[in-house]
Structure 1
Amino acid sequence: MKKYLRWVNSTLQMCKGQRLEKFRVCFDLNKFAQHEIDKWLEFAFSRKVQNLELDLNKGGEDTRDFDYCYAFPARLLGLVDPADSSSCTPHSNNLQIHSLVKQNFKSLKMLLLKSVNVTGEVLEFFLHNCPFLETVVVHGSGTLVNLEVVGPSLKLRHLEIWYCYYVESLKICDTNLITLRTTSGEGLLLKNVPMLVEVEILGTYTHILNDISSRLSCVISQLEVLTVHASLSLFDFSQEDLDRYNFPELTKLKKFVLTTFRPVCSWKEQSLLGCTSIIRAAPQLEEFELQLEARPFTSNRECKKAIKCPLHHLKVVKLWGFYNGTFHLELVRYFLENAVALEKIIIDPTCPLLTRVPLDLEEIKHQQTARNLAKLQLQCEVPPTMELVIL
């Protein structure tokens, strides 16, 4: 880390340009580099940076211990720094910085902060003082509690609040936001967001159907892409219960992605057919992807069947995660029987949890076994006019 800090400091001394299109830091840095990173931000803002990225994750991990995260300096914006208990109001020097910063921030278009502790007050300052700011991404902040994205004057189009576990309220109202990605679904409030067409959300530990219906109720009919991450979700209810559930119609949905994780022991008597209740509610669906995060397991039960329902527009199905014969075969058969326009089925036995780590010999063996089983079962099920891809 010390070597990296020295290298960046020496590099910045050689930069003579008056404007920066992009300033990106991507390295394992924590609160012990606070002073140096503060200086880098001052450098970037003084040159009217357009795209600012601080990606300080540790070794490719999703986030780090919040107590060790670098803290975005509120004083740089002329705001009271929560870490400075002696500051009750902005002093004169801060007011001068505030005036200078507001001028230099006019060019900011994108802000990305990963493993950076940032407050809602700081983010709202950016939103209301950067007239060209279109993208805000915050991953792994331990100090983000409340955030309001409110007002038709905001230019913001893409918002991502991920792994910020202390968020209590995320209010998004009267804006032209287009895409939203958040793990803070429990505190989400959406109102009057007519342009919002793409949402990725972490489901709560209640039933996923109720979860989506309540939290996304005002946009459910306008969504075109929906991605849901759920740990309990559809598979805690019987197929009969799901078939009776009156799920709101997703009239414009074109792509649906479901990621779900369960312990190995709880999968054996379950069925993937639960997800068909949402698929049936999306008459315009063109692409469906299921990411199954589970370890290899075996099940010898007979294949079940779901309610028949013509899927007139579905063209691509991707099943991602360890392939288990019965478990996946019944779902593939459902699509073969109902998706009249189906063109491609993709089977990827890679577990989503393991995509960023080196595979050991056992895992490689499991994946090859899954490929062989998928090939053996599906080549005789899928007609030759349809493309079958086994990765």
Structure 2
Amino acid sequence: MLDPKKLLKERDGYVEWITRFLDSHRAGTIDELRVCFDLNLQHRRSIDGWIKIALMKKVKSLELDFEPCRSNHGRDSGNYRFGCKFFSLSGIRLLTGLCLKHVDVRGQILESFLSNCPLLETLHVSHSKQLTHINVCGSSLRLKHLHISFCKCIKSIEVYAPNLVSFAYRGLECVHIDLKYVPQLCDVSYAGQWKSRWVFELRKSIHRCLATSQLVNLLLRVPFLPFVDISPIQPDFPNLRYLTLELPNVRLSFRETVEFAKLCHLMKHMPLLHKFKLELEAVEPHIPIEEKYIKSIIKMGREVRVTPLNKKLMMLREVEIVGFVGAVADSILICFLSLVAPNLNKIVINCCPPHWHRGAPIDDRKMKELEEGKSLVCDIMSAIRPEGSKYVLL
């Protein structure tokens, strides 16, 4: 635990160091200014001065990351507020990248920023307490990358950006997302933690995110059932090559076995799918799969081998399953994918928890589950692994 007095001393020293460095900087330009420290509204005068110097020196990329240290989640002052005071500086028109983390900024300021920065290509805003709505619109926008994450008051995001290549949203809120015109969009990340009362709005938001045929890379962190339930109204994904699903709080029961089968059916509408990654978080106690289920899985796998070629995933080369626990549902998924993809050359099975639980302590019971899961994978893969494929067990 960091002593508050020591933190205050560290802050003052850091602020003084940055100010001294910028004051002594003699070059006419600065390509990038990146400030990362636990600073807040109390330091607004110093931060304002840094930004003004950077803009006068024609900075291209500006990042302000004021994430609180772990021992100081309850800040002694609010977030620094990014305002319109910088729009009068001519250097702002040369900015190509803006990243604001734990900085409060309103949607109107961001919209004015876009209109004043004709060269801006990257906009990343996270943990802003003032951002409620953002309207990114303009036929002349050069914006290529838009990332909005963990802004707890955000209600809607509207985008009309002809050059946008990647869009990412992460948060705990139910957000109305309207991608009105994004003809170049090929990378979408949509992740969050939602409650059942938000499911209907989630369906509409996800559909708006995915209703574009040029997607190449897609990451979704969603409740499993809402994602599968909207699949009948989804278009095909003719260019999708990389699919990542993060499924928190999954109960790997027989019902989920059926839902995994629906997922596999949906994947058949992705003819160019090259890599599939699934991260699971099973919330029920581990129950080792019975031997009869292992035999039925292998039997089903052998039947899948005769599936017509036009119904197989011919381009799938790599499969990675993280959080495997050896239930019927995840075991059948491995079996199915191993056999419906004749050109699969790498299978990675990771029995460790998903990335959002990395670093958590593992007790004896969990260690036993991991070992049982690994043993089960070996039994299944020895019987169904495609010839010539590489198999990695972690």
1:34 is matched with 44
* Partners of 1:23 and 1:14 in 2: CA distance: 15
What does residue 216 of structure 1 align with?
209
| C-alpha distance in 2 between matches for 1:279 and 1:64 | 42
Is 1:72 matched up with 2:64?
no
Paired residues of 2:34 and 2:63 also in contact (CA < 8 A)? yes
How far apart, in 2, do the equivalents of 1:170 and 1:235 lie? 21
Q: Secondary structure at the match of 1:194?
A: coil
The corresponding residue for 1:47 is 57
Among 335, 338, 347, the residue aligned to 2:337: 335
Secondary structure of 2:17's counterpart equals: helix
Give the secondary structure class of the aligned counterpart of 1:262: strand
Inter-partner Cα distance in structure 2 for 1:298 and 1:242: 30
| Aligned partner letter, 2:209 | L
Displacement of 1:296: 7.4
> What is the identity, as a one-letter code, of the residue corresponding to 1:330?
I
- Would you say the 8 A contact 2:37–2:68 is kept in 1? yes
Distance 1:64 1:42, change over 3 A: farther
Matched residues in 2 for 1:236 and 1:47: separation?
48
Q: Is the 8 Å Cα contact of residues 203 and 226 (structure 2) preserved in structure 1?
A: no
Alignment of 1:77-226 (within 5 A): 77=86, 98-99=87-88, 101=89, 103-183=90-170, 186-202=175-191, 205-206=198-199, 210-211=203-204, 214-216=207-209, 218-219=211-212, 221-226=213-218
Structure 1 unaligned blocks of 5 or more: 78-97
Measure, in 1, the Cα distance between the counterparts of 2:343 and 2:97: 39
Q: Name the CA shift for 1:358/1:12 in 2 (closer, same or farther; >3 Å).
A: farther
Native 8 Å contact 2:211 2:234 kept in 1: no
Equivalent-residue separation in structure 2 for 1:136 and 1:363 (angstroms):
45
Alpha-carbon separation, structure 2, partners of 1:64 and 1:223? 38
Q: How does 1:228-247 map to 2 (within 5 A)?
A: 228-230=220-222, 232-234=223-225, 245=232, 247=234
The answer (yes or no) to whether the contact 2:178–2:205 under 8 Å persists in 1 is no
User: CA separation in 2, counterparts of 1:327 and 1:4?
Assistant: 52
Letter in 2 for 1:186: V
Q: Percent identity?
A: 27
Whole-Å Cα distance in 2 between the matches of residues 365 and 195 of structure 1? 46
Q: Return 296-305 or 142-151, whichever deviates more.
A: 296-305
AA in 2 matched with 1:225: N
2:26 alignment partner in structure 1: 16
Higher helix share: 2
Give the aligned residue type for 1:5. Answer: V
Contact 2:133–2:154 (CA under 8 A) maintained in structure 1: yes
Q: For residues 22 and 195 of structure 1, what CA distance do their matches in structure 2 show? A: 27
SS, match of residue 271 in structure 2 = coil
Q: Are the structure 2 counterparts of residues 321 and 67 from structure 1 closer, same or farther at C-alpha, using a change threshold of 3 Å?
A: farther
Task: List aligned pairs for 1:303-314, cutoff 5 A.
Answer: 309-314=311-316
Taking structure 1 as the reference length, the TM-score comes to 0.80
| Paired residue type of 2:267 | I
Instruction: Find the counterpart in structure 1 of residue 384 from structure 2.
Output: 381
Contact 2:188 2:215 in 1 (8 A): yes
CA distance in 2, matches of 1:314, 1:108: 40
Structure 1 range deviating more: 48-57 or 323-332 = 323-332
Shift of residue 258, structure 1, vs aligned partner: 0.8
Paired residues of 2:207 and 2:234 also in contact (CA < 8 A): no
Match of 1:288 in 2: 276
After TM superposition, give the deviation of residue 13 of structure 1 in Å: 2.9
Contact kept? 1:47, 1:104, Cα under 8 Å: yes
Partner residue, 1:276: 264
Matched, 1:347 2:349: yes
Per-residue CA deviation, residues 223-248 of structure 1 (Å, 9 max, x unaligned), is: 12111111x223898xxx899x4643
Q: Deviation of residue 69 (structure 1)?
A: 4.7
- Secondary structure class of the residue paired with 2:221: strand
- In structure 2, distance between residues paired with 1:372 and 1:59: 41
1:86 maps to: none
Specify whether residues 331 and 47 from structure 1 end up closer, same or farther in structure 2 by C-alpha distance, changes over 3 A only. Answer: same
| Deviation digits for residues 308-343 of structure 1 (CA, Å, limit 9, x no counterpart) | 641121111111224325342211111122112211
Map of 1:48-63 to 2, 5 A cutoff? 48-59=58-69
Superposed, which structure 2 residues align to 1:310-325 within 5 Å? 310-325=312-327
TM-score (norm 2): 0.79
Deviates more, 1:266-275 or 1:337-346: 266-275
- Cα distance in 1, alignment partners of residues 105 and 370 from structure 2: 44
Match of 2:384, SS? coil
**Paired residues of 1:313 and 1:341 also in contact (CA < 8 A):** yes
Unpaired runs of 5+ in structure 2? 1-10
C-alpha separation in 2, matches of 1:198 and 1:15: 38
State the superposition RMSD in angstroms: 3.3
CA distance in 2, matches of 1:171, 1:236: 22
What's the offset of the Cα at 1:154? Answer: 0.7
Question: Contact 1:247 / 1:277 at 8 angstroms: preserved in 2?
Answer: no
How far is 1:119 from its partner? Answer: 1.2
> How many residue pairs align between the two structures?
360
Q: 1:149 to 1:327 in 2, by over 3 A?
A: same
SS at match of 1:226: strand
* Aligned partners of 2:36 and 2:66 also within 8 Å: yes
Post-superposition offset of 1:273: 3.6
